Amino acid sequence: MKSTQTIAALVVATTALLSGCASTSSQPVYNGGYDNPATASAGYGTIESIQVTRADGQTNGTGAVVGGLVGALVGNQVGSGSGRTAATVAGAVGGAVVGNKVEANRNQGNGQDMYQINVRMQNGETRTVVQDSVYDLRVGNRVRLVDGRVYRY
């Protein structure tokens, strides 16, 4: 009975930990050297370049959770007492790592095209924004940068 409670507690803890790490956000990424995107929430500039990138091998945590559960179950079959507990924990951690890697490999090639847009702002700074589409944006367009997205004006 104690091993069942240990496994249940381990599963709950692993699920809570990994679900907190999963990200489903599709928000644009600021990588132009700004630590606080809120300070760079709006401005005007000109597009200097647009590059297509592919977001490959991303995971959402499902592989890690499933791998952790399988690893914990397999590890629980080894030894007895505190050795069994250690094997269960080691199996959960190892399974989570392997499961995450398997999910990343499985998603390879299924990535989404993303667009890295370099904008020269009116004050001379360059900002880089990554977003999922460029609509009618072209190099040389005057644009407005609002909350991490580039819009033509």
What's the pLDDT tens digit per position in 90-139? Answer: 989 998 898 888 887 776 656 677 899 999 999 999 999 988 888 889 99
Give this prediction's pTM.
0.44
What are the start-end ranges of the E strands in the chain? 29-30, 42-55, 112-121, 126-131, 142-146, 149-152
d(CA 38, CA 73): 45
What residue ranges define each of the domains in the chain, with the CATH number in brackets? 1-27+57-110 (no CATH), 31-56+112-153 (2.40.50)
pLDDT tens-digit map of 35-56:
444 444 579 999 999 998 876 6
